[in-house]
Amino acid sequence: MESRRLSSIAGNPVMHLRSAKTADTVFGAGYVDLAAVDEPALAALRDGMVRNLQGKIVSERDVRAGTIAGREFLAEGLIGGAPAVLRLRLLVSGARVYQLAAIGRAGAVPPEELDMFFESFKLRRPQS
């Protein structure tokens, strides 16, 4: 697990991340606990990821993971001068924001495999 402070969000919260890499794509899942889950904080999370590929958002839509609502973004840009795509999902549960992302060379991962990654996210109740 990797952790890093987010200086672009009030209070400098810590994002906790796990990631895995294939030849052309990085998949990541993480969470951050925010003092205030509001539009500026969510925009900062989104914009920070889009900035990683000097990209622009080309589409967005509302999503759900069980009872948790969120927003998914698709951005296009460049990584190392090559065309790249970011698919980012932000899900809000109370003060916690879950972030799922796949970033890599355009077309490197078939859409159905990306869907499997994003749809596999489930929150489990803690064991008693």
Domain topology for 2-119: Protein Transport Mog1p; Chain A (3.40.1000)
- Give per-residue pLDDT as tens, 68-115: 999 999 999 998 889 999 999 999 999 999 999 999 998 888 889 999
Neighbouring C-beta atoms of residue 71, cutoff 10 Å = 15
Residue that wins the pLDDT comparison between 23 and 44: 44
pTM over 0.85? The answer is: yes
Position 122 scores a pLDDT of 86
Position 95 scores a pLDDT of 93
Q: Which residues pair with residue 100 across a beta bridge? A: 29, 89
Domain ranges of the chain: 2-119
Q: Distance between CA atoms of 111 and 36, rounded to whole angstroms?
A: 34
What's the pLDDT band for 126 if we cut at 50, 70, 90? low
Kindly state the greatest CA–CA separation across the chain: 50
Mean pLDDT of the chain: 91
